[in-house]
Amino acid sequence: MTKPTRRRQSRHRCPLCTEPRPNTGLPIAIPFGIPTYWSPEAALAIFEFVDEMRDIILAVYGTHIQDAARQRGQSALTERVVIPDDELPF
């Protein structure tokens, strides 16, 4: 049986794991569990990551996303209203 090894701590601290800042009137997290105490650098890193993920997803699934959005929009339409040309206000 092998002895469990302890994980060595990284020399670099995670910017997302810093101590919470004093209460600034904001809730501790906003929807989706996003903390409100990130440093500006950490928030920028996450923002850039999400933006890059969006670009990658769009590159891979772009046409599928467009098709799904089009279908969603069409299914939301109700019965078409046809206005005869002679009744147009212009």
In a domain, 43, yes or no: yes
- Give 54-86 pLDDT, tens digit per residue: 999 999 999 999 999 888 877 665 566 777 777
Distance CA(10)–CA(88), nearest Å, equals: 71
Domain coverage including residue 47: 38-73
In a domain, 54, yes or no: yes
In a domain, 32, yes or no: no
* 5 or 24, which is more confident: 24
In a domain, 10, yes or no: no
In a domain, 80, yes or no: no
Indicate the number of domains in the chain. Answer: 1
This prediction's pTM: 0.47
State which amino acid sits at residue 40.
P
Summarize the chain as % helix, strand, coil (round to 5): 50, 5, 50
Q: Pairing relation of β-strands 34-35 and 29-30? A: antiparallel
With b for 16 or more beta-carbon neighbours within 10 A and e for fewer, the 54-77 pattern comes to eeeeeeeeeeeeeeeeeeeeeeee
